[in-house]
């Protein structure tokens, strides 16, 4: 997979926006950026994915830079239940398997 | 949509015995499923790619004879940990992928404890 770099941890106050960055400078033109999160002792949960344009769904927004070398996941109003490890992944290859890096541990506090 | 069911959610077994974990895609067909292992405080590590009707593809360093994978139908893949030892204790997670609107869907995981 295209290598991704994320900060190891971040804190966010409940009710505020959480902005989680990801660098993927080696991404190629047809590769998507996926975001997942893993709450403790659960399977990863799909959040959002995108190619070039910014994307928004009921969970989050994904902002991808014009050169596609980085992206930001935005949780607009973080809650305590958003505390989790967030993974930014760029799958490659015909099998499109997902390789997980170390992710960002987001701690939402009161 | 795009639900993956994994069973059991937890299992305790004795050293030397075998344990089978099932992964089912409930509302879609999955020609490919993936098996991961996760040790405490670590990220998910891909073990193998399960291919319906053919042999699984194992990642480097994963013993294919120890971790048997069978993908006999488009909705079911199984992982059997053979001759389990305490060092096999881990959190095992499956996924099925490529459903466009939902990315890759993961099972809820199986916590294996070998005593």
Order of strands, edge to edge, in the sheet holding A104-109?
A9-13, A104-109, A84-89, A33-38, A45-50
pLDDT above 80 for A2: no
pLDDT of the residue at A52? 92
Segment A4-13 mean pLDDT: 96
pLDDT of the residue at A31? 87
**Confidence band, pLDDT 50/70/90 cuts, at residue A91:** confident
Average pLDDT across chain B, whole number: 92
pLDDT of the residue at A50? 93
pLDDT above 70 for A88: yes
Closest-CA residue of A relative to B99 is A46
pLDDT of the residue at A10? 97
Residue B32: which of A42, A43, A95 has the nearest Cβ?
A: A95
pLDDT digits (tens, 9 = 90+) for A16-74: 999 999 999 989 888 889 999 999 889 999 999 999 989 999 999 999 999 999 999 99
Ramachandran quadrant class, A51 (left: phi over 0; alpha: psi -120 to 50; beta: rest)? alpha
pLDDT of the residue at B27? 84
**Cβ B98 vs Cβ B2: under 8 Å:** no
Closest-CA residue of B relative to A44 is B106
pLDDT of the residue at B98? 59
Find the range with the poorest average confidence among A95-104, B32-41, B54-63. A95-104
**Confidence band, pLDDT 50/70/90 cuts, at residue A93:** low
**Cβ A4 vs Cβ A22: under 8 Å:** yes
Segment A72-83 mean pLDDT: 97
**Cβ A61 vs Cβ A55: under 8 Å:** yes
Contacts of B108 in chain A (CB under 8 A): 42-43
Contacts of B102 in chain A (CB under 8 A): 46
Size of interface A-B (CB pairs under 8 A): 55
Among A21, A22, A20, smallest CA distance to A1 is for A22
H/E segment holding residue B70? strand B67-73
pLDDT of the residue at A95? 57
Interface contact flag, A44 B107, Cβ < 8 Å = no
Interface contact flag, B91 A41, Cβ < 8 Å = yes
A101 to A24, B15, B33, B66: CA distances (angstroms): 12, 31, 19, 25
Interface contact flag, A43 B106, Cβ < 8 Å = yes
pLDDT above 80 for B97: no
Segment B8-18 mean pLDDT: 97
**Cβ A2 vs Cβ A90: under 8 Å:** yes
DSSP B59: P
- A contact test, residue of B106, B109, B112 with most A CBs within 10 A: B106
Closest-CA residue of A relative to B58 is A97
């Amino acid at each position: 997979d295209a290598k991704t770099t994320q900060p190891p941890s971040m804190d966010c106050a409940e009710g505020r926006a959480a902005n989680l960055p990801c660098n993927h400078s080696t991404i190629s033109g047809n590769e998507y950026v996926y975001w997942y999160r893993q709450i403790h002792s659960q399977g990863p949960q799909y959040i959002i994915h995108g190619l070039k344009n910014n994307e928004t769904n009921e969970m989050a927004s994904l902002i991808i830079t014009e050169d596609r070398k980085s992206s930001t996941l935005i949780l607009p109003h973080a809650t305590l239940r958003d505390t989790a490890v967030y993974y930014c992944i760029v799958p490659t290859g015909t099998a499109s398997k997902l390789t997980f890096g170390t992710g960002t541990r987001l701690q939402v506090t009161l | 949509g795009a639900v993956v069911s994994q069973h059991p959610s937890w299992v305790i077994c004795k050293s030397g015995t075998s344990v089978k974990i099932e992964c089912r895609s409930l509302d879609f067909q999955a020609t490919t499923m993936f098996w991961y292992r996760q040790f405490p405080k670590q990220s998910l590590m891909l073990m193998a790619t399960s291919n319906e009707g053919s042999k699984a593809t194992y990642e480097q360093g994963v013993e294919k004879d120890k971790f048997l994978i069978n993908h006999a139908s488009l909705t079911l893949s199984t992982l059997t940990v053979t001759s389990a030892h305490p060092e096999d204790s881990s959190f095992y997670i499956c996924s099925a992928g490529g459903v466009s609107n939902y990315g890759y869907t993961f099972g809820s995981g199986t916590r294996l404890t070998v005593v």
